Amino acid sequence: MADRNLSRRTLLAAATATAFAAGVTSSSTAAGHTGATGPHESAAARDRRLRRMISAMSLEQKVGQVFCTWVAGRDADEPGAEAAEVNQRLLGVRSGAEAVARWHLGGVIYFLWSGNLVEPHQIADLSNGLQRAAVDSCGVPLLISVDQEHGAIVRIGPPVTQLPGAMALGAGGSVRDARDAGRIAGAELAALGIRQNYAPVADVNVNPANPVINVRSFGADPRAASRMVTAQIHGYEDAGVAACAKHFPGHGDTTVDSHYGLPVINHTRQEWSTLDAPPFRAAIAAGVDAIMTAHLQVPALDPSGDPATLSRPIIDGVLRKELGYDGVIVTDALNMRGVLTKYGEERVPVLALKAGVDQLLYPNNLPLAWNAVLKAVREGEITEARLEESILRLLRLKDRLGLLRRPYVTHAGVDRTVGVRRHLAAADRIAENTTTLLVNRDGLLPLSRRRQRRLLVTGADQPFPTDRTRSSVPALGAALGGLGFTVTALPTGLSPAPERIAEAVAAARGQDAVVVLTYDVATAAAGGQRTLVERLADSGVPVIQLAVRNPYDIARLNGVDAALALYGWTDVELRAAARTIAGRNEPGGALPVPVPRADNPTRVLFPVGHGLSYDD
């Protein structure tokens, strides 16, 4: 067995020797979508080259190539004692490098919780260490990925440039801004060695009660969402990073979070075709590198009750054959309840491959899932040829990204790219175009530093996605203070108690205006937020309400004098809001979703496209 493996490693090394030169001295900038042997290589010649690489793999190596999972620790070889214990307990090895080699992984996904994302140079070093392990053990570089959607879903914080999320970009309505955001995000990820981002979200959010997509969507209009999805894909492509449109066949009309249950989409076939499908069709037309499946049922597409991730009629029938997609199909995380409700952890990865999926993302138990796939191939439930189809698609993607030539990055490349001034300035410019003014009674906004200098900033104090030591109320207070206002910041939390509400009302006395942040006030737990806003409005001090997540909050709030929708609560959105309140920039956004009335959801309070300016 040892001699056989050595022979295969030798063959793999020979097959890839012309594809890249191993070493950390190579450029950190993205190689882009260039073939490993030059732009004039035919597709047939490329596939012959890649198939030679596949033929040199053992069956165990082939199985590993379709898995993308986490590893714990900030360093590939020396993860630290706690991370080493986690790796040993869940992956059977001590370090990330050992996990890559032991399981012959084709990809790794980074998370904050797994200790991978501390600071840019560390991330780049981790990427290089994991790539060396992959090249040394299997001859094929990894596809390193992350969920960096921006807005509500951010894994890597500053100094990486923070950008508005999808619904904010939808409110801005600028295809150019959406592409620029994708290009900036992609360039910085590529500098860190991360060459696949699980973005953009292509779901059309038509359900205000959607607990998992909401502001992660570009909006409720399939045509507008399609334009923005296309723009983001091109932006990531400009940067040499693989985009991934998600969550097929569409997760925009659910009231169940597929992390915790199995949603059902009850759209008819025609409704699916006109509402859910257009952004995915647009993504395919734009040449998207990957599409992620959803863990939900769509009876109109497959009445079996299987989640889409495990449904051959949906994956092979609709996505492959009907829509004509031949790129990489990746599962949503396989540790989610939505995909585990009907089948157990051992069957799910096998059924996903049989349905037509190529990349198995984040199984709850990697050794169990890996061995289940190996057993299925050995026993003939999955043919080796079927496994090789998926590996070929993954290798084509790695080849287009230039990973087979140049898998490593440098600190110099990080310093040239990550969080640079031009990226930060572009992020601020983009964010200023997204802030949406919904209500402005008697022209309260913009505020004057001379007449309305004293401000109370209060309300829902949401921690930043990547730094729980920082939160929205103090951050907004600091931004307004920097613009010349005298600010008192008093966070009250997501479910303020009566005593905290009374404290905020008392603090409002003597102020020229109150800025109150709200966060998803439609939920049962948010009754205190609604009471806070009502009590502040009764105080007689002008109240400016800022919805820092869903724009639907205004429908359930009475008595506010002005209302803004931000669609996010990180520095970039809060700085833009502060500048809008101060009149440094016009509110540039327009609602990308309708806001229904709270007392009669069949009627619209504010339609798509509503957004006031200071000239109104």
Looking at the structure, tell me whether residues 462 and 408 fall in a common domain: no
Q: Which residue has the tokens 């950190």?
A: 28
Looking at the structure, tell me whether residues 469 and 325 fall in a common domain: no
CATH number, domain containing residue 506 = 3.40.50.1700
Residue 426 lies in a domain: no
Name the residues annotated as catalytic: 259, 332
Question: In the chain, how long is the greatest CA-to-CA distance?
Answer: 83
Cβ atoms of residues 105 and 95 within 8 Å: no
Please count the other Cβ atoms lying within 10 Å of the Cβ belonging to residue 259. Answer: 14
Look up the pTM and report it: 0.93
Cβ atoms of residues 109 and 117 within 8 Å: no
Kindly list the strands in the beta sheet with 196-197, ordered across the sheet, starting from the edge strand earlier in the chain: 196-197, 143-146, 107-109, 67-69, 360-361
Q: Please enumerate in sequence order all residues whose Cβ is within 8 A of that of 437, keeping only pairs 6 or more positions apart, or say none.
A: 445, 562, 563, 564, 580, 587, 589, 611, 612, 613, 614
Cβ atoms of residues 51 and 393 within 8 Å: no
pLDDT the model gives residue 40: 82
Phi, psi of 100 (to 5 degrees): -60, -45
Tokens of 477: 């207070």
Looking at the structure, tell me whether residues 477 and 378 fall in a common domain: no
Helix (H) or strand (E) holding 361: strand 360-361
**Can you tell me the distance from the alpha carbon of 142 to that of 161, in angstroms, rounded to the nearest whole number?**
24
Residue 430 lies in a domain: no
Per-block mean pLDDT, blocks of 10 residues, the chain (616 long): 38 40 35 48 96 97 98 98 97 98 98 97 98 96 98 96 98 98 98 98 96 96 98 98 98 94 96 98 98 98 97 98 98 96 95 98 97 98 98 98 97 98 98 98 96 97 93 97 98 96 98 97 88 96 97 96 97 97 97 96 97 93
Q: What is the domain count for the chain? A: 2
Residue 424 lies in a domain: no
Q: Facing residues of 242 across strands? A: 196
pLDDT the model gives residue 523: 85
CATH number, domain containing residue 286 = 3.20.20.300
pLDDT the model gives residue 253: 96
Looking at the structure, tell me whether residues 408 and 471 fall in a common domain: no
pLDDT the model gives residue 616: 80
Q: Which of 206, 324, 200, 222 is nearest to 274 (CA)?
A: 222
Q: Facing residues of 436 across strands? A: 565
Looking at the structure, tell me whether residues 468 and 543 fall in a common domain: yes
Cβ atoms of residues 575 and 479 within 8 Å: yes
Looking at the structure, tell me whether residues 326 and 466 fall in a common domain: no
Coil, strand or helix: which one is 196? strand
Q: Which residue has the tokens 């909401």?
A: 214
Q: Which domain holds residue 443?
A: 435-606
